[in-house]
Every structure is written in C-alpha cells, then in structure tokens.
Structure 1
Amino acid sequence: MTARKKIVIVAHDVGGGGGMERHLEEIIMRLKRDAEVTVVAASMKLADPAGVRFIRIPVMAKPVPLKMIVFAIMATLRLLFIKRDLLHTTGAIVLNRADVSTVHFCHAGYVQATGNTRSKLNRSLLRRWNSALASSIALSMERLIYKPKRTRRLVTVSGRVKEELLSAFPYERHQVEVVPNGVDTSCFRPMPEREKRALRSKHGLPVNGEFLLFMGGDWPLKGLDFVIDAFNRLAVEHPSLHLIVVGKGDPEAYGPKVTEFARERVCFAGKRPNPEEWFGMSDLFIFPSSYETFSLVVHEAAAAGLVVLSTRVGGVEDLIEDGVNGYWIERDGEQIARLVREVLADPARQTALGEAARARVAALTWDHTYSLMNDQYARMYEQRNGSRGYEIERTHP
C-alpha cells in the first residue's frame, strides 16, 4: 500500500460563497480521501471538515491590506514548522518556497489589460485608498513570489490568466498549466416550465414571460449599465420581458436608470445563497463584464441551459463558440438588445443554444478539476523526489 502523502494547502479563506473558496473546498473534499491534508488559512468552512487538519491564522477580516500583511507574516512563520511532501498555495500570499500555486487572479495581468487598479471602481475616497493599497501589496507579492526558484509551478483557471502570467513573470510555457474550475451540473440544470413557474412564484415574480438574468457584484465592472440600457430598448416591444439582478450592489443608484414605465418589471434581488434557483427561473443570461479570470457564473448559466450572452473575458473564451452555444457581446446596450431580440424571435433557436451550452460545459465537472490538479501534484512530487516517484491510493472514481 502506498503511503499517503502530506499536502499542505494555504489560502486566506477556504470554503464559503466565493468562486476561489468554492474551488478550494471542492479540491480538498476529494483530496482528503487520497492524502493527508493540512489547511493553513484564516477561515475554513467545509461542508465536511472531517479528516482535514486545520491550522487557523488569526487575522482580522478588515482592513484588507492589513489582513494581507499580517497573514503573510504569520502563515510564513507557521509553515516553517509543518512537515509536508508538497506545499500548494493559492496566489502570492506567503514567502515560503512552494511547489505549486493556483492563480485565480493575476493583479499584474489586470493592470496590464485594463490600465487601472481595481481601486478606481470605488466611489468612496477611503475605499479607493484601501483598494489601492491592497492592489499595491498584491502586485509587490506577485513580483517577489512568482519566480520558478520560489514557486516552481503555476496553475491557472483559464487560458487568459496563463497568458497574463507568462507575459508578466519569468516562467516557461511548460511551467504554467491550466486547470479550469468545475461546475455542479446536477445542481445547475435546465428547469422545465412547471418548475420555472414555481420558482418565480416562490420569489414573488410573475410566473409567465421571458426573464433576463444578470448576476454578480461590482456592477460597474460587470456591466449592469449596459444590461439596463438593453432592457430599456426592449421593454416597449416586449411587454412580457423581465430583468432580474442578483448580487451585491446599489439598487438606489441603478433603479432610476430603468425606464419608468418598466421599473416594476425589474427585480433587484440582492445577494442570494441559492443561485441555482435564479438560473433555473430565467431564460437568458447577460454578462457584459470588462474583465474576468474565470467566470464561474457564466459556466453555471450554461449548465442551467440558459442562452449566454457574454463579453470575451477569461474562461468564457474557452467556453462560448459564437452563434453555436451562445453569443459574444460588446459593452453596448444597442448591440445586446439586438441579439436578445433575435433570440426571443426564434424559440427553437433559443432552445438549441441552451442545449449546446449545457453540452459544452458538461465535461467540466469538479471531479475533472480534481483529476487535473492531482496530475499536477504527481508531477511536482516526481520532480522533487526524483526516482522515488509519486502515487496516491485512489479511494474513489
């Protein structure tokens, strides 16, 4: 019987609502069956934490810049005393030499792609300062840590992030791999009309009509303005058309942007713990984001069989084939309205697009993600230990 390897995973937070936290939970829940797993993090919220050793780094949640600095110092010191076969970090967050780091967001790549730091999206001066300092720390940590001698291999969530890393840091192409996020296709699935109507009724919405869905926070970044512009253009000719906005934002600032006579057809639902229900009750998913590394919500919308209209951002580039299983859009309300109009005019085409999107995302399961990640562990262990090789005892498919 092969000895179980000791793998240490470091992250600010594990488990919970965010895409990065969800990714870690899905990996750890599978990895713990095959290896001895230690998690070093500020928080860990696993559905089943049994079998996972958790070492908590006690840091405050806010302000974020202080959390980053304190976590980096305390976690770096704590790792000096943890025996391990492999160290897997999540981003540039500790100073220890690591075998592999999963990169969900490349700060250098974001600045290069947009010319801005994320701080400029904040209206509050204090928040801009806070975000600017956090971005400065993150950029400095990336420059320090993303070097082959310090972090031997990088794993990214999309081809877009891989290209950003190769452009900004001294890695060869074979040292940066892509392991996409997974989608729970049993949770996110097409809903028959009866279930759609039941869900709409449950949330106090009209049971009939066509529903556009926007989901996400950072509304200026994600492009809610353009979705509302498109809805306004369509509202007169499609009196049964509705818009649902799910996610954290400021409805008081965005509500007045909706044409007055159609405001009752727009639902600002806020942040919700059950996104599968909101996908399930909707028909089209519109996502004119200016920047993404891997948009999990787009993949979940595709799994739910929605017609996806998205900008050409990270992760989505690898998913959508224009006109086959979705549409590329610009951050332009008129163009979005034109495409929505075309989809609504052809119900058979709408169904075919949704089915094609579902089929395309079906292979991107969390089991697939874990299998790819486990291949990276094997490669890292072989390189670190030479001829001794690496093998884990698989206890599940």
Structure 2
Amino acid sequence: MRHIVQIAPAIEPGRGVEAVAHHLEREFRRAGARVDRFTLSDAGGDWLPEPRGGMRGRAGHALRVAWFSTVGTVLARRYLARNPGAVAICHNDALTGDVYVNHGILQVAMRARGRYAGRMVRNPLHLFTALRDHLRYRSGTHRLVVNLTRQEDRDLRGTYPGLRPGTVVIGNGVDLDRFAPPTPDERRAARAGLGLGEDDVAMLFVGHEFERKGLPAVLAALAELPPQVHLVVVGGSADMVAALVRTARRNRVQGRLHAVGADPEPQRYFHASDVLVFPSAYESFGLVVLEAMASGLPVIATRVGCVGDVVDEGVNGYVVDGSAAEIRDRVLALLGSDRVALGRAARRTAEAHGWACVAREYLAVVDRLAARRAVSAGRPR
C-alpha cells in the first residue's frame, strides 16, 4: 500500500495551501493510499496566535512561519524517521520531505510588485524566507520539486541557478462540485442579494492583497465603463474594505461597488457575476481563475500563474497587461460578446483540471520515488 505523509502548517477545506493539501489528501485516500499528516499542531505550535489583519496579524503570521520552518523541520524529520516507508510531500515552510510543492517564489513576487530591495529589507520575514529557501533549493533537502506552472518552473531555475532537486510541473486542481455554474434560481438569488438588476453586468474580483492582485486598476476601469457595469470585491480586512469604499466615493462609483469583505464560501458571488477580472502582478498558480471558470465565468486576467495555460483568448476569456485602459476595453468587448458561449467554454476548460486528475499525477510521482528508494535499499520492488 502507498504510504504518503503530507507536511503543511494546516490541512483543511477552504482556500490557499491548506486547501490544496486537503483535496490531495481526500483523493489519495480515495485511491486506496494510507495518508498521514504533519501540521503546525504536531510541531507544538498550537500556542501561536492566529494570523489576523493589522500589525499583530502580520506578527502572528511571521511567528508561525518561523516556528514551522525551524521547530517544525526538526520534529517533522523525526516523524519521518519513524515512518521510513512513507513518501513525504511538503507544502510549506518545513525543510524536509521527498517532494516539495512550490506554492510561490518570494523574490519573483517582490520583483513583480516593484521596489524589490526596499520590500525585502523592510520585512524581516522576507529575508528569513529567502535564506530558508536558499538552503532548501541548494541542498539535498528534497528529491523533487513540484512547480504549479511551466512559468513557475522557469522562474525557479532562474532564481536558483544551482537548483539541486529535479522538477516536475503539476498544476493545482479545482473542486468541480463546489464551483459549478449556478441554476437560474441560484443566480437570481445571488444577484438579488447584491441588489443587481437584470441588465447589470457584474465584474468579480477575489483576493486579499488588493494592490498586488491589481484591484486599483479594476476600480479605475470601472469609472470608465457604462453605468450598468458593477464591481463585486470579495476579500480584504475591514480596514482595507473601508479604504476601498473611500476610493470608490472619490471616483464617484460607490453605487456600483459591492465590497463584501472576506468570505470562506464565495460561491454565491461567482453565481452573481458575469466575469472574473484578475490583473494580478504575480501568482504561483492563481486558483481563483479555475474556480471562476468552473463556475461558468469567462476570465480577464494578466498572464500570471495558470492563466497562460488555461485562458484561450476570445474563447473562454482574455489576457490583459494589467492597465485600467486594457481592462476597460476587454470588458467593453465582453459586453458585445456571447457571454453564454464564453462561460460554457470556461467550464469545459476547468473540467480538465479536477482534483482527481491532479492527484493521479502526484500518485505517479509517489510511485516513481518509492520504486527508486526500494532499488537504492536493495529491496524487491
């Protein structure tokens, strides 16, 4: 029987890295594998504060990263020593595991946002992460790195020319049951909840980092679009949402902005909307793009993360340069397009990226690594 250990600070439904590990765990078990986990709780980190908004939240996040990178590394290695037959898949922070899943390259993200040196020096966590990942990629810590896109694979090799482990590209998956096109009743209810009229067109933005993910450009584009175009923003802290509303008021679009804050169950906003607008500066993958497509929404996005692999220009969405002018022009083009056909094409694209398909690729990697380990140990395969 396959034995897999997943290492991540948390493994649970929702969004982000913890959700990736959760979906893989579920699919591995469905395939008959024994799956164990090593989390921040197993590393004795239950006492650490939960990350929240503001300075205290950032400090809490930094403490958790540092703890799982150091104490978590030591204890996870001891755990794996007691399970020598397991293939370990590490998702974040800890410096151990046969496979490391690269969920983002800090240096590439900072360069994409501009003022690289200042951003790195101002934040001690950035310097710590850069040093930790230098050790990760230049040593024999991992046998293989999983990159989420072909571009991320190229970026990793460019950032770490002395990269020691081999690499493979396996994208993230999408929950095709949770994210699905709405029924007519679901769509009517979702739009009514936002006060959208029958002829209104809703752009959707989902993300917690407004600046990096390009929300200012989307808001600027909204000011130049016809009055039936609205913007639904999911994510951000209370302070960020309040600042966004003030900006919308200055731009005289406050009546067309629907800033709903963070929501762990965002499906109703996908149901209410007509297009996802996502001009992010950097994404290691950008799962929200696949979630939108699975929900039957065409996508207007910059060529980051999975966008270059899944967006077919004019068929299921559009690729933009991130400027307000180009976002405006693509939304105007969308208004004159067959949005139903675009949405159906988007759903078909997403169906090729379900978690069951992704898990099969990981299991093939697990089997290869287990076979090589058996040969190295002189055991029969």
- TM-score past 0.5 threshold: yes
User: Corresponding residue for 2:98?
Assistant: 99
Give runs of aligned pairs for residues 75-90 of structure 1, distance below 5 A.
75-82=72-79, 83-84=82-83, 85=85, 86-90=87-91
Shift of 1:154: 0.3
Shift of 1:388: 4.5
Query: What is the root-mean-square deviation of aligned Cα atoms in Å?
Result: 2.6
User: Corresponding residue for 1:263?
Assistant: 254
Amino acid at match of 1:255: V
Shift of 1:335: 1.6
What is the SS of the residue equivalent to 1:211? strand
What is the SS of the residue equivalent to 1:258? helix
What is the SS of the residue equivalent to 1:74? helix
CA distance in 2, matches of 1:253, 1:336: 22
Amino acid at match of 2:176: T
CA distance in 2, matches of 1:251, 1:63: 21
Contact 2:112 2:281 (8 Å CA) reproduced:
no
Q: Structure 1 residues 343, 69: CA separation in 2 closer, same or farther (over 3 Å shift)?
A: closer
Shift of 1:149: 2.2
Shift of 1:118: 10
Q: Structure 1 residues 272, 39: CA separation in 2 closer, same or farther (over 3 Å shift)?
A: same
From 285, 288, 302, the equivalent of 1:297 is 288
CA distance in 2, matches of 1:371, 1:388: 25
Give runs of aligned pairs for residues 354-373 of structure 1, distance below 5 A.
354-373=343-362
What is the SS of the residue equivalent to 1:289? coil
From 314, 317, 339, the equivalent of 1:326 is 317
Q: Structure 1 residues 261, 13: CA separation in 2 closer, same or farther (over 3 Å shift)?
A: same
2:245 maps to 1:247: no
1:225-253 CA-to-partner distances (Å, cap 9, x unmatched) read 1111111101xxx3322211111141332
From 275, 282, 287, the equivalent of 2:273 is 282
1:145-176 CA-to-partner distances (Å, cap 9, x unmatched) read 1136221100112222211122223347x921
CA distance in 2, matches of 1:120, 1:324: 38
Shift of 1:141: 0.9
CA distance in 1, matches of 2:175, 2:131: 35
Shift of 1:24: 0.2
Q: Structure 1 residues 187, 345: CA separation in 2 closer, same or farther (over 3 Å shift)?
A: same
Q: Structure 1 residues 191, 64: CA separation in 2 closer, same or farther (over 3 Å shift)?
A: closer
Contact 1:244 1:267 (8 Å CA) reproduced:
yes
Amino acid at match of 2:243: A
What is the SS of the residue equivalent to 1:13? coil
User: Corresponding residue for 1:307?
Assistant: 298
Contact 1:230 1:336 (8 Å CA) reproduced:
yes
Contact 1:312 1:329 (8 Å CA) reproduced:
yes
Moved more, 65-74 or 99-108: 65-74
Shift of 1:296: 0.7
CA distance in 1, matches of 2:217, 2:253: 16
Contact 1:42 1:59 (8 Å CA) reproduced:
no
Amino acid at match of 1:13: A
Amino acid at match of 1:305: G
Contact 1:64 1:134 (8 Å CA) reproduced:
no
Give runs of aligned pairs for residues 95-174 of structure 1, distance below 5 A.
95-96=95-96, 98-111=97-110, 113-114=112-113, 116=115, 120=119, 129=122, 132-147=123-138, 149-169=140-160, 170-171=162-163
Amino acid at match of 1:334: A
User: Corresponding residue for 1:229?
Assistant: 220
Shift of 1:354: 1.6
Shift of 1:203: 4.5
CA distance in 2, matches of 1:279, 1:77: 42
CA distance in 1, matches of 2:267, 2:344: 17
CA distance in 1, matches of 2:206, 2:141: 37
Contact 2:27 2:355 (8 Å CA) reproduced:
no
Gaps of 5+ in 1: 44-53, 122-127, 391-397
1:248-305 CA-to-partner distances (Å, cap 9, x unmatched) read 1413322233366542221111011221111111001111111111011111111111
Normalising by structure 1, report the TM-score.
Answer: 0.83
CA distance in 2, matches of 1:136, 1:113: 17
What is the SS of the residue equivalent to 1:39? strand
CA distance in 2, matches of 1:261, 1:115: 29
User: Corresponding residue for 1:124?
Assistant: none
Q: Structure 1 residues 87, 116: CA separation in 2 closer, same or farther (over 3 Å shift)?
A: farther
Q: Structure 1 residues 296, 389: CA separation in 2 closer, same or farther (over 3 Å shift)?
A: farther
2:36 maps to 1:38: yes
Identical positions, percent: 28
Amino acid at match of 2:90: T
Q: Structure 1 residues 55, 32: CA separation in 2 closer, same or farther (over 3 Å shift)?
A: farther
CA distance in 2, matches of 1:119, 1:192: 48
Shift of 1:109: 3.3
Gaps of 5+ in 2: 50-58
Shift of 1:200: 1.8
What is the SS of the residue equivalent to 2:223? helix
2:69 maps to 1:72: yes
User: Corresponding residue for 2:54?
Assistant: none
